[in-house]
Amino acid sequence: MKIRHKRLLFRISASALMFAAIFAVDLTVGLNTYLKYALYLIPYLTVGYDIIFKAIVGITGGHPFDENFLMCIATFGAFGIGELPEAVFVMLFYQTGELFQSIAVGKSRSSIAALMDIKPDKARVIRDGTENEVAPEEIMVGEMIVVRPGEKIPLDGEITEGESELDYSKLTGESIPVYAEPGDKVSGGAICMGGVIKIKVSSEYKDSTVKKILDLVENAFESKAKTDRLITRFSAVYTPVVVISALLLFLIPSIVTKDPVVWLSRALVFLVISCPCALVLSVPLSYFGGIGAASRNGILIKGSVYLESLADVTHVVFDKTGTLTKGKFKVSALKVMSKAETANDEICRTAYALEKGSNHPIAMAVTEYCKKYVTDNGYVAVNVNETAGMGVTADINGKCCFAGNAKLLKKLQIDFDEAEGDTGIIYVGSDKKLLGYFEVEDEIKEEAGDAIRRLKDLGIKKTVMLSGDRKSCVDKTAKALSIDRAAGELLPADKVDELKKELSSKPSGKKLVYVGDGINDAPVLGMADIGISMGAMGSDAAIEAADVVLMDDNPQKIVSALRIAKKTKRIVIENIVFALVIKLFFLVLGAFGKTSLWEATFADVGVMVIAVLNSMRTLKLK
């Protein structure tokens, strides 16, 4: 319990003891009116002075209509009609509810703060042959850092020496350690669990995984959900309406019945019951908890508006490479057009020169395959021109060479017989002559099939896959995963057109998710109702454009995100319905004089406490 909670608890306890003692003396010996007022004001002010102060600040600041104002009117009115014990009890119980609510919010904030613990405080950098402890912000790209067992990796980079198991649970939500050795890329925020490792830094702190995660989490709560905004607007209108209604409930019957004391009491009961704090507190707290629960599961949601939208998703559109497949291609076969002994050597050296500068996963697979044939630097590519979704052209030793898919060959007006098969095909040639082609394969992620099945179990009506790969390869993957529709051989602009079709076909009021990881996915991620990016392997552009980031590239996390969103929204609706039904019931009773201030306070604060406790269930969602 925090210090401010302890202080409030002390005030509540002290006030309650004083109230009980005064009430007991009053019942036993009876106190005269002036002494009674003086004595009851002591526990009242002890527990409620801050509420009075907040109400004054609200009035002077031009925002009088809040729960503090309502509590002051209700308790001042109780003092005015001589119901002194009720006035003190109302403030006591209200502050008790505030204490429970504050502790609940504190717990939800602590769950987010735990995630913030991924930030490293220091880093050991090797400079001039010695280790120096510095802030991660001071380390530059290319420098070497040392990480010992039990320490957090401060920055993204590649292991150059040593090996260790790494704990990524703070980043991805997965508890199983990952083994890493020289050549493996690692992310800042992971914890070294084994031996000492040396890492070559690949990005500055401001561009690191840790910094991106912290920025995403810190900014997540600035974007309010539609329900949250609605409750805020509702309260701004609702509270003055309630005050005016209570005033009319007092004035009109008082004039008619000539009994102002009775109707003042009923108006005060009406005010207390009408306080909207249960809704104002529980709705944002539910979304706060839902975002925290998602973060602990390795799902970063950039705002409650996106968490709410995820609950209404009926269509999910996927990229293929790196999203449903591993994105780690390998050359399965090489077909050459010439029967000459040097044919393999020529096509591989040409392909290597063309593709070695590309970071496209297929190009990297071809480059890796061709390394064994490259014995000298005789093939050097100049005037390199890469066309997105097609391939690359360049001049090599005076010849115009190319490497790419069938679309590139058609663009270059090269005659060829299109290769058959279900794998990706990369054609290579020079001077309008086709030298041969590589067959490239990509494996489906082990979790992808189960993720698609579970999405359909959650109520997803349609799954779609869009890819730049050849149609036969895309169709094969779609069939293996039971995806409803697939389209291949798409350029980035084609993906946008396909997504527009899906957006126009979904039911009104429902949402469409696009899941991708590449730079070419950024436009469609931004166009979709909700964009989900694969964070671990995903490009910076895709992560920036997305509304949700999955930290470990596991398609199962899409299911988790939707499930958390649906459960969070259900809890929000439960709180709204529960609060409105209970309050309406007691409002009717209060208007007919069937409820006292004591009972009204139980109705108001009790509903608030129950709603807040119900909201805290979101913290444990998975």
Catalytic center residues:
319
* Neighbouring C-beta atoms of residue 387, cutoff 10 Å: 14
- β-strands 313-319, 462-466 pairing: parallel
CB 286 within 8 A of CB 571: yes
Q: Which residues, 6+ apart, have CB-to-CB distance to 528 below 8 Å?
A: 317, 499, 503, 512, 513, 514
Count H helices, E strands: the chain? Answer: 20, 22
Q: Which residues, 6+ apart, have CB-to-CB distance to 477 below 8 Å?
A: 320, 324, 325, 444, 465, 467, 483, 486
Q: CA angle at residue 548 from 507 to 211, to 5 degrees?
A: 165
Q: How far apart are CA 532 and CA 546, in angstroms?
A: 5
Q: How far apart are CA 483 and CA 471, in angstroms?
A: 14
Sheet with strand 330-336: strands edge to edge? 330-336, 433-441, 424-430, 399-404, 391-396, 381-387
Q: Which residues, 6+ apart, have CB-to-CB distance to 345 below 8 Å?
A: 373
Secondary structure of the chain: what % helix, strand, coil (to 5)?
A: 55, 20, 25
Q: How far apart are CA 517 and CA 522, in angstroms?
A: 8
- Rounded to a whole number, what is the distance in angstroms from the first to the last CA of the chain? 26
> What does 303-341 look like in DSSP terms, one character per residue?
-HHHHHHHTTEEEEEEESTTTTB----EEEEEEES--ST
Six-digit token pair at 557?
């996390």
| Residue of 157, 267, 283, 307 lying closest to 227 (CA atoms) | 283
